[in-house]
Each structure stands twice: as structure tokens, then as C-alpha cells.
Chain A
């Protein structure tokens, strides 16, 4: 036989694989295009607007202002004076009214330069620390308050939902007669639209005619009717209570589904070994449903962090229960300040993105499992 080193022929992907890969991209393309148009492009424009001073007013020229919406040291941008093309500054100590222009100089509003007919430079000494302040999202106390509100809301309501949801799921998982009725009852809050449930609860929590006040009074738990949705201390707890009522069913169903996937043999083995039911729950059930719980928690947390509708309807205008989304939309639409509102929206987006990234890394959640 001729000594001939056989080099194995290397093949690329076969026709079938190439055809399937090509089809995959063709099949995904329409979805990707739509997502790019309804999500990608608007997100990028929001981010871009956050770097401008855009207003909703039609005849306002939009200018690129860098990160000034986020953090900016200078005059109050709201005091822009179109007539003098600068920012109005009240120098209280020297009893002077000045205009600060982009060239970095202060002009005296009461002193017109005869040569140019324009305002003259202010002759006094101006200490910038007297007239300038920090502005922007990062020093916006209402923003940080809404962040605090939202995070408090998310942590407490998701925590309560897990605990109550676990109880409900364990009850549903117990083999008792009429299980279908209980499950149907539990599904009702989930089926009711958020806005509708917000309205139902604001009626029940009404400070004058609400049934909750009525019941608490008749039981003697309170002496006077409470303004649940308007009170500084009660508005956020009220929001949490309604959210827990509305979303616990979702949590309970997810946990129930996870419970029902557990192998019965494990429990039979535990029973044979004489493990106490409480110990059994913490040592067997909880570790086994942990992955499902982790996924449910992230779904619910992301949902809670962007909460808008419930708060908007239940406690309108309250700063004590204002969420990040509410404050962003208020700036965007009500104050017509697209630039600043976009900066708030972008900040919210970044907070949620960071939270998700951290959670995914810590939780080692994989989304491309072959099963």
C-alpha cells in the first residue's frame, strides 16, 4: 500500500444546518425589527433626550447639554431669560440682578453698555458659590425620595407576596376537598385589571365612607376614620397592601406549580424517616423550589420597580408614595420637560438594568437551557 497520509476532509456546516440557520434568522427578523422600532429606537431616543434640554413646547429649540440633566453646577436652568439670552441670577448679598451667559460672564441687568446697547459686564465681585447650585437628577431630592419609596415598596411587597404566596400555595397543594374552589377564588384578584382593583380599594379605603374604616371602627381597633390614601405614613403601606392583594395569586400559582413538580417519593422517604413537617419544609421543600422561587422573585421585583398605575390611581399626587415612574412621567408630560423627564427615565432604566445584571450573576440564572 502506498504510504499516503490521509488528511481527513473537514466539512463546514451541511446544507441542512445552513438552511436551518438561515431560516432561523428569517423567522426572527420580523420580531427583531418590530422590537427595534417599538423598544430599541424609543429607548435610544429617550437616552438622547436626556442629554438635551428638550421641552414639549413646539417652538423651543432643543440643545445638546451633555449630562447637565443628571448633574450640573451652575445657575438654575429654569431661570433662562430669552430676552437677554442668559440665566437670571439674584445676587442677594449685593442686592443686584444679574444675567449669566454661556460665555461665563455675569452681566448687570441694571446697566446697559452704551457702545453695544447690550447689558454691561457686572463690575462687582461674584462668588459663584453664592449664586450657583448643584442641579440634576443626582441631587434631586424628590427623585431620591421616589427611589426610596419604590425600593421600599418593592422589597416589602415582594417579600410579603412570597410569604403569603407560599402559605396559599401550601394550602392549595394540600389534598383537601374543594381545592378547585379555593384556586378559583385566589385567581380573582389576578384577573381584575390593576386600575380596577386600585379603584375598588380606594373606595374601600375611602376616608369617609370606606368599608375598611367602618370595620376597624366597629371592632374598636381605631378611634377615628383614617385617610389611608392621603396620610403621610399610611399611603405607602396602603399601596403595598393593595399590591400584595393583587399579585400574591401570581406568586402562589408559580410556587404551587413548582411544588407540584416535586417528586412524591422524597416526601414519602421523609415520612418514613419521621421528619417533622416544619423541618421537612425548610430542609426539603424550600431548597427544591428555590430555583423557581428565584425566577418568580426577579419577575415580580422588576415589575414592582417600574410600578406606575396602582400608585397613580390609589394615591394621586402623594409624594409619600410617589414611585420613580410617577416622578419621571410627571416631569415628562405634566411639566412638559422632556429632557429632564428622559434623564429620570434613563436613570430608572439603568437602576433596573443594574439590578437585573447583579441578580442574574449572583443567582446564576441561565436562560438558554436545553431540556
Chain B
């Protein structure tokens, strides 16, 4: 085979691979959209385009259960969790990232360890605590328990971002007479806007997706459920038949905003993820 022919063949194989990757990544989501637009028996056909697109399933999502409320619950819980985490994490990240003191390495290990915690390991403890202080079956129980993963995560990522700020900038502030608190608020915070946004977004996604605590703490009350619990709880006409059209419609509803956010922030998200991992 001639050199150019072989090159061409390689190129074709490469693009086939690329197309395969794209289809593999996108098809399930496409299929969810496709199914969500099929109503009635069309749902059970394997047509690759809805023969008669309709919004019936979308309407049914909000009729069958308090799904709007579920969305609000998720937004409320995730927002509060992220804001509190960021607030606590910024100062901690400054200390861990920029101040040398004994025990820092150990603290970083603890933070990383907690973020890697199997959540089931604290479930029974948290469950009893929530019942004892009367927060069981309230959204506060979620805000508190979500701290277990959002807080270490934000601390860890912000610590790596903090370390990347030039050392001389902080020394200039010290020579100018700034206290550590002033250094954070007047010098570092204004520079960390993008980092805070990225970290906040990633933590938000984590809280938004959480299932185990939500299922356990508010799984019994459809008005308190967050989206993931609500979506697993959709009931159809009969007990043995899942309302797949509704489920797909709900899936599309909660996924589209996330995909849009992720695509807008994709560069920043990649940098955030790698700040947490690659440079570990």
C-alpha cells in the first residue's frame, strides 16, 4: 500500500473513532429527549425521531407530583450549601495554602480524607442526630449533611488556587501592613473571583446530584424531595409500570440547565477539576 493511501486510511479510521465517541457520549441524552417528546404508545416504538412530537409528558411531570417544588428545593438546598461552604472555605484555604505552620500537612490529609468519605459511614450517625435535634424530614438536614462533601471539596480546590497566587503579592501586602484578614479580603478575594465561581459551580453540581442523604432524610415526603429523589419516585398508572415518558421529560428538564452551565463554563470547570486532582 502506498504511503499516502495508508495515511488516508488512518485518517478515516481516526474520524470514525471521533464520530463513535460523539455518538457514545451524546446518544443517551438524545434518546431521553426523543422519548420525552413521544406520547401515548409512540413511546414504546424505537423510532429515532418522535413521529408526532408533543409536550404532553412535560405537562404531566408537573401535574403528577410537586415537581416545581422539588426543583425549588434542590436550588434552595444547593445554593445555601455552596454559599456557606465557600464562606468557610476561603479563610481555611488561605491558611492551608499560604501559611506555614505545624500540622498543615495533617490537616490537608484530613480534609482530603473527609472528601473521600463513604457517605454511608456517617449515615446512621447523622440520621440519629437529625432525629434528635428535630431536623429529620426538613431541608436543613440536607444543607448540614451536604457540608460533608462540599466543604472539603471547596477547601481543597481553593487551597490549590490560593497556592498559585504569587507569593510576592502577599509579601507586598505584609510590608504594607495588611493583617491576614485584610490580605484575604482586600487582595486575594478580588483576584479569586473566577476561582470562586468555578469551585462554587462544581460544589453546586455535587449538591444538586446528591441522592443518599436526600433519600434517607426527606425521602418520605414528596413536598420536601430534591430532584434526584423525586425522579426515582415517579409513579405511573400501575405500580409495575414506570411512567417512562414523564421520567424522561423530567430528566431533560433538570439536565438542560446543567449542560448549558457546563458548556458555558467548560474551560473553567476543566481547570477546577484538574486543580483538585492532577496537581494533588
Binding site for B on A (CB under 8 A): 16, 19-21, 23-25, 27-28, 30-32, 34-35, 37-39, 41-46, 49, 167-168, 171, 174, 176, 181-197, 199-201, 203-204, 206, 208-209, 211, 214-215, 245, 249-250, 253-254, 256-258, 261, 292, 295-296, 299, 302, 305-306, 308-309, 312-313, 324-325, 328-329, 332-333, 338, 341-342, 345-346, 348-349, 352, 356, 365, 367-369, 371
Q: How far is the CA of A368 from the CA of B112 in the complex (A)?
A: 11
8 other A-B residue contacts (CB within 8 Å) besides A38-B126, A312-B211: A19-B180, A21-B101, A189-B28, A190-B262, A203-B244, A215-B46, A332-B124, A371-B164
Number of cross-chain contacts by CB at 8 Å: 290
Task: Give B28-54 interface residues, CB cut-off 8 Å to A.
Answer: 28-29, 31-32, 35, 43-44, 46
> What CA separation (Å) do A27 and B209 show in the bound complex?
29
Contact residues in B for A189 (Cβ distance below 8 Å): 25, 28-29
State which of B1-9, B65-73, B144-152, B190-198 sits at the interface with chain A: B144-152
Known contacts A171-B21, A192-B255, A306-B118: A45-B231 contact under CB 8 Å? no
Report if A20-B128 is in contact (Cβ < 8 Å); known contacts: A27-B94, A42-B122.
no
B158 to chain A, nearest CB (A): 11
The docked-state distance in angstroms from the alpha carbon of A203 to that of B31 is: 9
Q: Are B126 and A187 in contact (CB under 8 A)?
A: no
B186 at the interface (CB under 8 A from A): no
Q: Which 4 A-B pairs have the closest CB atoms?
A: A42-B125, A45-B125, A368-B105, A306-B118
Whether A46 contacts B22 by the Cβ 8 Å rule is: no
**Contact yes or no, A31 B89, CB < 8 A:** yes
Whether the pair A199, B251 counts as a contact (CB closer than 8 A) is: yes
Residue of A nearest to B255 (CB): A192
Contacting residues, chain A, for B125 (C-beta < 8 A): 41-46, 49, 342
Q: How far is the CA of A296 from the CA of B122 in the complex (A)?
A: 25
A184 to chain B, nearest CB (A): 5
A39 touching B114 in the complex, CB below 8 Å, given contacts A27-B95, A188-B259, A332-B127: yes
Q: What are the residues of chain A within 8 A of B263 when measuring CB–CB? A: 184, 187, 191
List which B243-276 residues lie within 8 A (CB) of chain A: 244, 247-248, 251, 254-255, 258-259, 261-263, 266, 269-271, 273-274
Could you list which residues of chain B lie within 8 angstroms of chain A, going by C-beta atoms?
14, 17-18, 21-22, 24-26, 28-29, 31-32, 35, 43-44, 46, 88-89, 91-92, 94-96, 99, 101, 104-105, 107-114, 116-129, 144-145, 147-148, 151-152, 155, 163-164, 174, 179-181, 205, 208-209, 211-212, 215-216, 227-229, 231-232, 244, 247-248, 251, 254-255, 258-259, 261-263, 266, 269-271, 273-274, 277-280
Knowing A27-B91, A203-B35, the reply to whether A371 touches B279 (Cβ < 8 A) is yes
- A276 CB to nearest chain B CB (Å): 13
A189 and B128 CA atoms in complex are apart in Å by 35
**Cross-chain pairs A/B with CB under 8 angstroms, 11 sampled:** A27-B94, A28-B96, A186-B21, A193-B255, A195-B228, A253-B270, A254-B278, A306-B119, A332-B124, A333-B127, A348-B120
Bound-state CA distance A28–B97 (Å) is 11
Q: A176-B18, A200-B31, A329-B212 are in contact. Are A349 and B121 (CB under 8 A)?
A: yes
Cα–Cα, bound, A41→B122 (Å) = 8
B88 contacts which chain A residues (CB < 8 A)?
Answer: 30-31, 34
Q: Which residue of B lies closest to A198 (CB)?
A: B232
**For residue A352, which residues in chain B have a CB less than 8 angstroms away from its CB?**
116, 118
Q: Which DSSP category, helix, strand, loop or mixed, fits chain B's interface?
A: helix
B118–A348 touching, CB < 8 Å: yes
**Is there contact, CB below 8 Å, between B274 and A253?**
yes
Shortest Cβ distance from A23 into B: residue = B180
B266 touches A193 (CB 8 A): no
Q: Would you call B21 and A196 a contact (CB within 8 A)? A: no
Asked if A211 contacts B274 (CB within 8 A), the reply is: no
A56 (CB) vs chain B CBs: closest residue: B127
Residues of A within 8 A of B120 (CB): 306, 308, 324-325, 328-329, 332, 345, 348
Q: Which residues of A contact B144 (CB under 8 A)?
A: 37-38
Whether the Cβ atoms of B28 and A197 lie closer than 8 Å is yes
Which residue of chain B lies nearest to A371 when distances are taken between CB atoms in the complex?
B163
**Of B92, B118, B119, which contacts A31 at CB under 8 A?**
B92
Contact A302 B116 (CB under 8 A): yes
Let me know if B258 and A192 touch, CB within 8 A.
yes
Query: Residues of B contacting A34 with CB < 8 Å?
Result: 88, 147, 151
Q: Are A45 and B91 in contact (CB under 8 A)?
A: no
Instruction: Tell me whether B280 and A365 are in contact (CB under 8 A).
Output: yes
Measured CA separation A193–B70 after assembly (Å): 15
Given that A34-B88, A38-B147, A302-B116 are known contacts, is A203 also in contact with B247, CB under 8 Å in the complex? yes
Asked if A333 contacts B28 (CB within 8 A), the reply is no
User: Do A42 and B129 touch across chains, with their CB atoms under 8 A apart?
Assistant: yes
- Known A23-B180, A349-B121; judge A367-B95 contact (CB<8 A): no
Knowing A38-B147, A39-B148, A325-B118, the reply to whether A196 touches B99 (Cβ < 8 A) is no
Provide the bound-state CA to CA distance between A325 and B231, in Å: 21
Residues on B with C-beta less than 8 A from A313 are 232
Q: Considering the chains assembled together, what is the distance between the CA atoms of A197 and B26 in angstroms?
A: 12
- A341–B46 alpha-carbon span in the complex (Å): 43
Select which of A30, A261, A368 is within 8 A of B104 by beta carbon.
A368
Q: Is the CB of B227 within 8 A of A193?
A: yes
Closest-CB distance, B92 to chain A (whole angstroms): 4
A299:B231 contact, CB within 8 angstroms: no
- Contact indicator A194/B180 (Cβ below 8 Å): no
B124 close to A342 (CB less than 8 A): yes
**Nearest A residue to B122, CB-CB:** A42
Residues of A within 8 A of B269 (CB): 187
